[in-house]
Amino acid sequence: MREATTTPVRREDYTAPAFFIRAAELSFDLDPAKTIVASRLTIERNPALPRQPLRLHGEALTLLRVQADGASVSFRHEGGELVIDSPPETDRFTLEIRNTCAPDKNTALQGLYTSHLLQVYVRPGDLEKTEHAMNSLVASVVWDEARFGLALDLDRYMIVAVEDYNSGAMENKGLNIFNTQAVLASPAISTDADFARIESIIGHEYFHNWTGNRITCRDWFQLSLKEGLTVFRDQEFSMDMAGSPSARAVKRIDDVRRLRAAQFPEDAGPMAHPVRPDSYLEINNFYTPTVYEKGAEVVRMMHTLVGREGFTRGMALYFQRFDGQAVTCDDFAQAIADANPGSELATRLDAFKRWYAQAGTPRITARGQHDAEARRYTLTLAQRSDPSPGQPTKLPFVVPVAMGLLDAGGRDLAADRLLVLEEGEQSWVFEGIDTPPVPSLLRGFSAPVRLDDGLDDAERLVLLAHDSDPFNRWEAGQRLMLGRLLAAVASGSAPVLDDALAEALRRVLLDPALDPAFKELALLAPGELYIAEQLPVVDPQRIHAVREQWRAQLAERLHADWAWAWEAHQVTEGYSPRPAQAGRRALAHLALTMLCLQAVRQGDAVWPGKAYQRFKDATHMTDRLGALAALTDAHSPLAEAALERFHAQAHGDALVLDKWFMLQARTPELLGAEAGRVFTLAPRRCSSTATFR
């Protein structure tokens, strides 16, 4: 087993290796108890360093033979290393090592280990569930060549689905290993969200073929070089697959919600660390939202600062310089800047790289002042960063702020601009502005920051109704709802859905120009975790109660509109997981939930009855789970019978039973009703018992 070290490994201590491994050939004689591994390494001395012993790391290995250029060499063990004190005097030689390992004794789930279900192919019974994975892989190959000119470099590229694989997936060159949850899908067992997730993960691992395999990390401190960049690439892939601008915005909104829910709290807590950490005890601890999601945001800011075409040029230069090498985050940033001389990134590169070195989420304050007589508007932005572990003070970040100005009627007053905040405080002047404008700041969430925009409710209502940027339109609605929810939590009273906000949300629901998936997100209240993050003292029960009261009011105030949304967004054609259909289903299911909420409160059985009928008649999992969620979220008396029926229909399928558990875990009111009930689960080749307490 691999054990965590007790001495930190520090980036500042990095030194170049004394030897380079220019090629490696491995052959395996597989046996669970005793696997024989033969390696053939082409080794080259580093001419910049004095001659010294050759040291190779290895864990839980039994060495049988070590040869250099065909002749046996003496070796010794030292602290988990194979040390050859007298390697050949030549500058280049071939080292052959033969050793054994015991995969069935490896419980670390790293390296070579055995499982009862470890296979190199999809099980025959799962063959019909692989079509979407294959389609996603084809789409990934086509997209990467079209977007970045990166063609598949292999004659054969394989995916293997393993039910008990410890990680989600791994980008082994030419043979990607996946957990079955990230590969297997069919309309009968998978929802629209499952299909989208599989497409994203398969794209991510395929994109690693270039950003992670062809060019990899010089050392573990550079982990975000491959992971942050590849998360950005899979996000862009999913957005390009979505289609319309507001459908693309749905993906961006989902990514920002994930960032705020997982990475922002990490940045604000005791585990805060830079995107490129300076030390670690165990590198597995740094597979974090900061390295992945915030790392992707750092890449996205580069993309914003040089533009889409400029970023493509930068990627081309990056591969021209470093293909086949192990490099650093600095190398990547330098390539993007060098391909775009004179760009906002190139002129500020040293300061921009503070995003890699400094932890924490910057807080941006925006305030505007309008001079009617001079027809001038002045916007002032200021930034500050809270202390984080090991970093009591921070230098200013380079923050790209995409923005526009609207008048009170929602018309654009000036062309979109990209402001670059690089100091503690800066001001920008806009000429020819006749009326006080409403600033739309941080469009597309152009930087991973917390923004205090200083806007009042009237100004946010303008953005919610008219902003041409879908992300900021969604954000305005979220802030309007959040303000009312926080006020209710603080006062101990019910939240107030006033006429102005109710009408604004109604207009969003009825707007024919907006994608249904965007409407569904815009009408959802902020989540309980996000609400809690805004409070100095958290009362989970109070937050939950206030959010439930808000949903009940929204269900009542827009009742007729929810009925219209349910009827107008039915999908009658054959099932497809593509965004056009998925968005219609998402909005229809939200409408059904709202209608059931209102019906249960009034003691009306009509809409819960319709939901239960939809649950029974559904021909695919998205409709079945959507109707079941409407019953559970509304706390309908029919929910219990529906849950039992869902469990029975699962027939022990582990992927389906995961949904059964998830639905009840997110509905705490159900847990009391289910207390003490015992269900025997029978997923493939195993059985277990789950008891709710």
- Would you call 415 helix, strand, or coil by DSSP? strand
Query: Under the phi-then-psi rule, with left for phi > 0, alpha for psi from -120 to 50, and beta for the rest, what region is 664?
Result: alpha
CA torsion sign, 210 to 215 to 216 to 217?
negative
HSE-CB for 486 with a 13 A CA cutoff:
16
Active-site residue identified among 163, 171, 199, 205: 205
Identity of the residue numbered 186: S
The full DSSP string for 374-385 is TTEEEEEEEEE-
Output phi, psi for 393, to 5 deg.
-130, 150
What DSSP assignment string belongs to 528-547? Answer: HHHHHHT-SS--HHHHHHHH
Residue whose structure tokens are 């107008």: 568
Residue 131 a catalytic site member: no
The dihedrals phi and psi of 312, each to the nearest 5 degrees, come to -60, -40
Burial 550-580 (b: 16+ CB within 10 A, else e): bbbbbbbbbeebbbebbeebebeeebebebe
With the C-alpha atoms ordered 440, 442, 443, 449, is the resulting torsion angle positive or negative? negative
- The CA distance from 593 to 571, in Å, is 17
Where helices occur in 108-170 by DSSP H, the ranges are 131-148
d(C-alpha 679, C-alpha 692), whole Å: 9
Collapse the DSSP code of 22 into the 3-class scheme (helix H, G, I; strand E, B; otherwise coil) and give the result.
strand
Whole-Å CA distances, 592 to 116, 191, 560, 561: 43, 17, 12, 11
Structure tokens given for 3: 């054990």
Alpha helix ranges (H) inside 269-328 = 289, 295-322
Give the residue numbers annotated as catalytic, written as ranges: 205
